[in-house]
Each structure stands twice: as C-alpha cells, then as structure tokens.
Amino acid sequence: AGEPKQKPAHVMKQRLRIYTIQVPVAKSVLDLYDYVDARAVVALLVHKCGQVIFDKGLEEARSLVEDWVINLMGEYTTHLNRRLLAAGDKVVDPDVEFKECKALDSVPYYVYGMLRGDVFSRRCISENADKWVYLFCAYTSNPPKDIVHAFYPALSIYSENRVYRKNPLSRDFLKETGGNVYMVDTFFKVVVYYTREGQAAVEFPPPHDGIIRRDIGHIRMSRGTAPLVVFLREGIDDPRLFEDLLLEEAAKAGSGSPADYGFGPFMDVMRTEVQAFLEEEAS
C-alpha cells in the first residue's frame, strides 16, 4: 500500500465579518449637510469626471462640475430657507459660501481649484499626455484627505512663533497678514517661502528641531507619496513657483471656465447662477 497522504498544516479559509452599527436617523435634510465629508465628496466627483472626460471630453466634464456645484448650492439654500420660500418670499443673498454649514464651506474652494488645475487643462493634455494620465491616476488613487491639497493647496503662515493655517491663497491677503514664512502644501510639493522679513527673523534653512521642519516631517510621514520640499527666499530665488500657487488670483491662461477670473469673480458667477436656479424652482 502507498504511504498515506499528509494533510496540509494550514488551511486557508475566507470569512465574512459583519458589523452591526446603530446610526441615528437625521431629523432634517440640513442634518445630512452638517455631517458631509467634503473631501470624500470631491474625490467622488473627480472619479465621475474622469469617465466623462474619456467619453465626452473636457468641456462636457467642466460643465458637469459647474452644474453640480450650482445645484448643490441651490438645493442647500432651498432647504436652509424653506420657511421663507414657503411664505412666497425670495432669497436675496443665497449662502453660496456655506457660512451656515462648516462641513461644506471648503467645497467651493476645492471645486474652484479643480477647475483651475490640470484635470481640466487642455494645454496639459496636449503638451504632455503622460503627465496628465499620471496626475489623474494620483488624484483617483490617493486618500481624499491628502489629494484635496492638489486642488486647493493648504497655506500655513509662520509669524512670531505663531502658526496660522487654512489661509486664502490670495496675494492681497498675504499683504495684509505680513507673515515671515509661508508654507504651501500642494500634495506633490511643499513650498516654503521666506519673505525678506522672515530671512532676518527666522533661520534659513529651517532647523531640524523647529516647527517648520516638524510640520514638513508630519506631512511626509502621513502620506504614501512623499512630496518634494522646496525652499525659496524673496529677492534671491525665483518667486514664480510660489506665486503660481496663489490660485485666488486671475489665471494667466483661460480655459473657458468662470474660475479663470479669480475666486471672487467665480463666486459672483455662482451666486448669480444660484439665484437663477431658485427662481426656476419657484416657477
């Protein structure tokens, strides 16, 4: 008789683990808005735009994004002012900036930055299609909490041992604040810009035990893709790498979007379109 077959020491089994979680039911639609993850919403929007770009082109995808954000602003304003509209009155100033909803107040910035970025750049596709494909793959494969910085970079201001985060990417705002050092996180790059005042007040390059280095280290350690770090000094290095990140200024090259004229004019167009949306809904 042959030798008995040996049984394998380990057996691989696939199991399905089910979790039961109790979730409270929202009392109104406004409660749903208050608990939205804006970063996840924008990440899903990018995925949806990709399919439209491949099937129908950039212009159709850009129009889709603009219509989407107008509908979001319009529906939110409708629910926010339901009693006013039910009484037959009109909304004079729609809340397109989501001042009453902290969960959504970053959405206009993300959408604005998306329309200004390489995703909808025909020039980027025509000059270097491989770069566009790489960027789109990065946008759709990285966590939403990280990739939103590629749409609207995070600006931190270091001044007199204080740090101010989540600042507008506006040249006028920087003139008013007068910070010593600016750091812009664009996901792919971290640009640290020393003003003339900063060069006199803060050590260059920043010391390894300083807060700037700690912030850079935290960014690099928390991501799957480590960004390139660039240090610039006003009056010594070429400032265009930093100035090009001030997205709230008017674009140097137009793409056919209201975002080409700057963030302020873009929001003015959104406000006008939302007013038209509300009037159409009322009729």
| Residue 2, pLDDT above cutoff 80 | no
| Residue 38, pLDDT above cutoff 90 | yes
Pairing of strands 228-233, 189-194: parallel
Query: Which residues are bridge partners to 154 per DSSP?
Result: 185
3 state DSSP class of 155: strand
Question: pLDDT above 70 covers what percent of the chain?
Answer: 96
61-73: average pLDDT: 93
pLDDT tens-digit series, residues 183-225: 999 999 999 999 998 898 888 888 888 899 999 999 999 988 8
pLDDT tens-digit series, residues 96-119: 999 989 999 999 999 999 998 888
Contact criterion met (CB below 8 Å) for 241 and 231: no
pLDDT value at residue 225: 84
As a whole number, the mean pLDDT across the chain is 88
Half-sphere exposure of 191 (CA within 13 A, CB side): 23
Question: CA 238, CA 205: separation in Å to the nearest integer?
Answer: 16
pLDDT value at residue 166: 86
What does pTM read for this prediction? 0.86
Closest CA to 170 of 119, 216, 112, 96: 112
Between 2 and 70, residue with greater pLDDT: 70
pLDDT value at residue 252: 74
Model confidence at 83, in pLDDT bands (50, 70, 90)?
confident
pLDDT value at residue 151: 93
Question: pLDDT above 90 covers what percent of the chain?
Answer: 46
Q: Which uninterrupted H or E stretch holds 162?
A: strand 162-164
Within 8 A by CB and 6+ apart from 119, the residues are 46, 49, 53, 135, 136, 139
Contact criterion met (CB below 8 Å) for 43 and 147: yes
Contact criterion met (CB below 8 Å) for 257 and 218: no
Between 86 and 166, residue with greater pLDDT: 166
Model confidence at 5, in pLDDT bands (50, 70, 90)?
low
| Residue 9, pLDDT above cutoff 60 | yes
pLDDT tens-digit series, residues 226-261: 899 999 999 999 999 999 999 998 887 666 778 888
pLDDT tens-digit series, residues 123-138: 888 888 898 889 999 9
